[in-house]
Homo-oligomer: A and B are copies of this chain.
Amino acid sequence: MADPIEFYFDLASPYAYLASTQIEKIAEKHGRAVAWRPMMLGAVFKVAGTAPLTDVPLKSDYSKHDFDRTARDFGVPFDLPDGFPHNTLAGARAFYWAEQNDPGKAVALAKALFHSYFGERRDISQPDTVIELAKSVGLDGDAVAEGIQQPDIKQKVKDVTDDAIQNRGVFGAPYFFVDGEPFWGCDRLAQVDRWLETGGW
């Protein structure tokens, strides 16, 4: 099987959530897997000198309008949570703990976190909520609660984020790599699809 599509995201990125509802269909069409890579977008913004779209004057209203329009287009729920954007460190740590300890359930957890946040407006910054969602996809809640406190798991989130910024040039989310070719943004899904179809142009 060819290399997986690498999918870098923050669990609090609206466009990453929207893209997450589409990328697996695209990957399957071309016989690819998806490597889900949650990271901390706050660290990315610090290096890039950027900010959440909803904090940029003029862009804020449009971006909310565009999130809704794209969600309707994709036929998926979308409702921006109060207090957006929340810190998703506990969720990212739980993902990597699951990837190491019960790998078949890590992606299901990421999807549950995305859906809970953007579909049900739940505050996924709370470890209790993350643990509840972990249990809902069949993970061991007590083990997850301990796992997200492990130094190696904390370090893993930091390492993935640092590597994304320093070695891969990631400056936003979603950010995809298809055989090394970078694509930034939910709006590049059509290009990702055609790149996989054609091998590039």
Contact = CB atoms under 8 A, between A and B. Distances in A.
| A interface secondary structure, majority | helix
Contacts of A169: 58, 61-62
Interface string A156-184: 00000000010001111000000000101
Nearest to A50: B56
Contacts of A191: 69, 73
Given A182-B65, A190-B190, A171 B49 contact: no
Contacts of A165: 58
Interface string A128-161: 0000000000000000000000000000000000
Nearest to A55: B49
- Copies of this protein, total: 2
Interface string A34-63: 000000000010011110000011110110
Contacts of A69: 191, 201
A184 B58 contact: no
A184 B66 contact: yes
Contacts of A62: 169, 171, 182, 184
Nearest to A194: B73
A102 interface: no
Given A48-B57, A58-B48, A73-B201, A187 B184 contact: no
Interface of A: 44, 47-50, 56-59, 61-62, 65-66, 69, 72-73, 165, 169-172, 182, 184-185, 187-188, 190-191, 201
22 contacts: A48-B56, A48-B58, A48-B59, A49-B56, A49-B57, A56-B171, A57-B171, A58-B165, A58-B169, A58-B171, A59-B171, A62-B169, A62-B171, A62-B182, A62-B184, A66-B184, A69-B191, A69-B201, A73-B191, A185-B187, A187-B187, A190-B190
